Every structure is written in C-alpha cells, then in structure tokens.
Amino acid sequence: MPTSLVTSNSLLAIDVGAANTRAVLFDVIEGEYRFVASGVAPSTAEAPYKDVSEGARNAIQALQNILQRTLLEQTARSLIMPSQPDGSGVDSLVVTISAGPAVRTLVVGLLKDVSLESARRLTESTYARIMDTLSLSDQRKPDQQIDSILRIRPDMVVIAGGTDGGASRSVKKLLEPIGLASYLMPDEKRPAVLYAGNEKLVEEVKSLVGSLATRLHFSSNIRPSLEVEDIDPAELELAQMFVAIRKKQLKGLDVLDLWAGGHTLPTAYATGRMVRFLSNVYGTNKGLLSVDLGASSTIIAAGFANKSVLKTYPQFGLGENIVGLLNYTTVEDILRWSTLDIPPSAIVDYLHQKSLYPGSIAATKEDFVIVQSVAKQALYLAMQAARRDFPKEAASIKPTLTPLFDPIIAGGAALSDASRPGQSLLLLLDSVQPVGISTVILDQNNLMPMLGAAASQNNILPVQVLESGAFLSVGTVVSPVVTTKYGTSILKAKVTYENGTEANVNLKYGFLEILPLASGETARITIQVSRGVDIGFGPGRGTKNMAISGGALGIVFDGRGRPLDMPADPVRRRELIKKWNWALGGG
C-alpha cells in the first residue's frame, strides 16, 4: 500500500544567469518534494568560453561535490538521465535563462494609446529593449521607417493591432515597411516576428513578412476589443520566441534544451508563472509581489485578483548593463541611500568595474554601501516604472503609492543574503516602499523561477517545496501612510503571544521599531492609529486581534512615512540611515 501520492522522481533545475549559473536539485524526502542542494559556478556566456553549457556543467559538478552523488557521466559532458539504481543521475531537467544581451525589439501597434501600449506591455515581459515603435500616428515617411528598421537591426518584431473583425487595411500598411526592411537585410540578420493582432489577418501576415522572418509566431489577439486586453497567451509565445533567439545567440543553450526535452523558459517568464500560481493560492484582496534584482535585469512580477503583471527591466540590471543606469538616474540620487560620505567619482568607478566583472562581490565597507545604494536605486526605478501598469482597481491606500501587497517575495543576489536579513529588508522597504501590513519573504536560494519552470513538468513539486521552509520568512511589516513632524506618535500596537505574554510599541514618525516573533510562530496584534494615519483599513482606523506570523526579524514597524520622507541635508540623512540600519540589526 503506497504511503505517498508522490512518485520518487528527482528534478534538476539549471538557471543560466548573466553572472552565475546555478544547478538545484529537488527530490522526494519522506514522501514529499524538497529543495535538496544548490551548486553555483560563474556563467560562461561571455569570453573566453562563450558556451553556456560549460557553466552548467561546472554548476552541476559543484552540486555533485555537495551531494556526493554522480549526476554527470565520467567524461563530464552529458547528464545521466533517468536516475540509475545506484543513485546516480536525475529523472528530469528544466532550464531557465536570463544571460545574454537585451533583445533589440521593434514594437508595432495600430493606435498609440491602445494596441501599441498593449504591445509595449507584452514586450516588457521578457528581456527586450524597445529600440523603436511604429503606429498609425507615426509622422515618418515609409522610406524613413525602413531606414530606421535597417539601422536598429531588430532581433525581434512584436506586432499588435486591429480588434477582432476590425480594420485590416491599416494593419497591412504598417506591415509593408517591416517586410521591405527585412528583405534588404542578410538572411541571418532578419528578425523573428510575433503577430498578436486581428486574427483574420494571419494569412496576410504570412504573405507579407512570413518568408522574410527568421521565425514567425502567432498568438491570440492581445487587444480583442478596445476595452479588453489579454496578454497572457502572447507572453508564453513570446517566451518561446525568446528562447529560440537565445539559441542562435548563445552557444551551448541548444545542448541544455536538448537535455531538458524542450523545457527551457526565460527566467522572468518562469517567475511570472509562479506568481500567477501563488496569487491564486493566497486568494486575498491584496496583491502578491515578487521582485528579483539580477545581473541581467530587475524583474517585477505582481499577481492581483483578476490580472497578473510581469515587467522585465534590462536597463536596471546590476551586471553588464549597470553603467546604463545613469541614463535613468543621477549619481546624487544613488548617493542619497548611502550611510557614508562617498565622492560621486567612486560611484562611477564602481559602475564601470561592475559592468566588466558582474560576478564580483564587495570587499570593503565602502564597496558594500555602494552596492546597496545602487541596488536600492535600481529597484526603486523599476517599481516606479512597473506601477503604471498595475491595474487601476488594485487595492491601495493612495493611487500615487505602491498598492497593498501581501506577501512580498524578494530574490536576487543583492537581496537574498540570508546572513543579514535586516540589510535586505531595509533595501526592500526603501525601494519598494510597501504600505499597510505585509509579510516579507526572502527567496535566498533564488528558487522562484526554477519552481515556475518545474511546474510544467511536475505541478505537485512547487507546492510542496514552498511549504517545506525553503524560503526565509523575514516577518510582518507594518507601514502606516502618514506625513507629520519627526518624533510625533503615530501608532500604538499590542502583540499577544501564544503563551499569553504581551509586548507593546509606541511608533513615532521617522523611526523603525521591532517586536520579536520567531519564524513558525503566530501572535495576535491590536493596533491603534492616530488621526489621519492609514494602515490599510482607512484613515484613523486600526485593527483588533489580527493574526500575524513571525520571521527572522519578527514584527517590523516602519514609521518613516510614504512616500519615504528623507532629509535634504546629507549629514542628517546619513545619520538617520545609520539609525535605521541599526534598528534592523544591519550594522
């Protein structure tokens, strides 16, 4: 008689990043799937190797050394699949990929504020950089449009436009310069094309650009009517198209995809898939937020009651593209997060060094402060950009602030250092600036995209791994929305623990306070707020006997206001940031 519904199939997940390649093993332990171990090696997408499969083999070998279990054949060239009676090998493999340059993209839509906006939102779900757009309102002549396409040499063209059964002549007019420009390009330089517009024009698209594209993909209309936007099916098609482009760009990815039996996904899409799943599981009126600060990009994925949003920002990545951050911000804006008096030239030097050596880590206190300051500004900018695409009906305290999210899941090298959860939490609080009451979880092993990819192979595995404690709960954060004088009392809270003991806090504006509550423990909290203070229940309204969960830091009260109120005077600001660091145990 079976003791478990789980068949004992092991799964290996490989994540090919811009700085590091990771190999993670999931296996059945005592009848349930668990995260077993992770092996890490520098990525080999760039010189001297220029072969991503080498980095994958190195990561698997690192995993073998930890497990004392053979996964690669003696020649170390191929994976042992399926697992063998002697315990060697694995039963299945999934691959996620974020390495490689941002995919140069041309976005085409009929109406600038309708289909072109939908096509932009779709394009931003993957590792793309929009180089140019075409729409009916484009004032350029056809020959100028063709010149622009030839100049930017797009790897990919995303076309939307025309409601189902709507205008067709206008869409054909937009397709002509694309077809002509592709005709003038060498065969190997022609772009891949995704058409997600009026479905009646599929045959027209095939005849106009089909023979002139390296690959032609079709998806259901992302704008079936003026009022309705449906991006999800096109996101999957775009993800598959991205992997096909990467196979041409990155040597060795075809080998990994062959090992995985075609189960290769962009890291961002796999993360978005996991967020969609989790938002359905939690099913609250608040949203669910996942942020990932990676070398290749910053990923913001949010799940709401009736919509999911996936945004990928290569321009805010912390690896090779990091110097480009200065196109979107200033050195002074980066330095506002610093606890040290650092000269602007040191920031510029750091950005250039990091772009050359994405895998480098901070060696001095000044380096660490710079790393944290740059990461905060990158995530802050990404959140500001993503917020415009969050649904207007999302639960919020003020439309100009971050919506209400619970939980908030954070990953990426800059955030997932589990040895200093206070530092990671402050980075999140400063950049995301959550409001109301939220649970914060650190994905310290960066498992979110791997679980999203694994779900296509095994839908039980992600659920059981999530419940197993593979993620680090930082605790519950209470972030009141208020603006008042520094030192004014804004909130009083009483926490009643399971053993009956109580703890109280009187939160003053501009301060961070902590009450202990260990991981795995729950308590009841009663909060009274001052007039005009909002923690998600309305101005001046608190809560009674609300159940909350603990974590590495317990219960954190952030009384610094929203948007975050920071002094203009740099000396005063640095002293305050030091106090906030100490309050969270960051040092």
485-535 confidence digits (pLDDT tens): 999 999 999 999 999 999 999 999 999 999 999 988 999 999 999 999 999
- Grade residue 1 by pLDDT with cuts at 50, 70 and 90: very low
Q: Select 11-97's CATH number: 3.30.420.40, 3.90.650.10, 3.40.50.10790, 3.30.428.10.
A: 3.30.420.40
Instruction: Quote the pLDDT of residue 112.
Output: 86
Tally Cβ neighbours within 10 Å of residue 349.
12
Tokens in use for 187? 């065969």
* pLDDT tens column, 302-359: 999 878 999 999 999 998 889 999 999 999 999 999 999 999 999 999 999 999 888 7
**Cβ contacts of residue 347 below 8 Å, gap of 6+?**
331, 334, 335, 370, 373, 374
Instruction: Quote the pLDDT of residue 587.
Output: 54
Radius of gyration (Cα) for the chain, nearest Å?
Answer: 25
Cα–Cα distance, 343 to 23 (Å, whole number): 39
Instruction: Quote the pLDDT of residue 3.
Output: 40
Q: What is the mean pLDDT of residues 537-552?
A: 94
* pLDDT tens column, 95-134: 999 999 999 999 998 888 888 999 999 999 999 999 999 9
Instruction: Quote the pLDDT of residue 438.
Output: 95
**Cβ contacts of residue 426 below 8 Å, gap of 6+?**
580, 581, 584, 586
DSSP 8-state assignment for residue 481: B
Kindly report each contact of residues 255-260 with a partner whose C-beta sits within 8 Å and lies 24 or more positions away, as own/partner: 255/53, 256/14, 256/16, 256/52, 256/53, 256/56, 256/95, 257/95, 259/78, 259/79, 259/81, 259/93, 259/95, 260/14, 260/93, 260/94, 260/95
Instruction: Quote the pLDDT of residue 40.
Output: 94
Instruction: Quote the pLDDT of residue 165.
Output: 63
* From-to residues of CATH 3.30.420.40 in the chain: 11-97
Q: Is the pLDDT of residue 282 over 80?
A: no
Instruction: Decide which of 1 and 86 is more confident.
Output: 86
Instruction: Quote the pLDDT of residue 513.
Output: 96
What CATH number does the domain located at 103-241 have? 3.40.50.360
- Grade residue 76 by pLDDT with cuts at 50, 70 and 90: low
Q: How many CA atoms lie within 13 A of 217 on its CB side?
A: 24
pTM of the predicted model, to two decimals?
0.92
Cα–Cα distance, 14 to 170 (Å, whole number): 44
Instruction: Quote the pLDDT of residue 359.
Output: 78
Instruction: Quote the pLDDT of residue 419.
Output: 61
**What percentage of the chain has pLDDT greater than the value 70?**
96
Cα–Cα distance, 55 to 44 (Å, whole number): 5
Q: What is the mean pLDDT of residues 189-199?
A: 89
Q: What is the mean pLDDT of residues 388-413?
A: 92
Instruction: Quote the pLDDT of residue 5.
Output: 47
Cα–Cα distance, 482 to 136 (Å, whole number): 45
Instruction: Quote the pLDDT of residue 11.
Output: 94
CB 474 within 8 A of CB 461: no
**What percentage of the chain has pLDDT greater than the value 90?**
68
* pLDDT tens column, 421-460: 898 999 999 999 999 999 999 998 899 999 999 988 888 8
Q: Is the pLDDT of residue 2 over 50?
A: no
Mean pLDDT of the chain: 90
- Grade residue 414 by pLDDT with cuts at 50, 70 and 90: confident
* From-to residues of CATH 3.40.50.360 in the chain: 103-241
Tally Cβ neighbours within 10 Å of residue 67.
15
Kindly report each contact of residues 537-546 with a partner whose C-beta sits within 8 Å and lies 24 or more positions away, as own/partner: 542/491, 543/437, 545/496, 546/437
Q: What is the mean pLDDT of residues 554-567?
A: 93
* pLDDT tens column, 218-272: 998 888 887 888 898 899 999 999 999 999 999 999 999 999 999 999 999 999 9
Instruction: Quote the pLDDT of residue 285.
Output: 85
Among 204-213, 366-375, 443-452, the least confident range: 204-213
- Please identify which residue in the block is written with the tokens 């994405």: 358
The vertex-281 CA angle with 277 and 287, nearest 5°, equals: 80
In the chain, the amino acid numbered 538 is G
The C-alpha torsion from 504 through 507 and 511 to 513, rounded to 10°, is 20
Cα separations in angstroms, 391 against 288, 300, 307, 467: 13, 14, 8, 29
Cα separations in angstroms, 449 against 26, 60, 99, 101: 14, 18, 14, 19
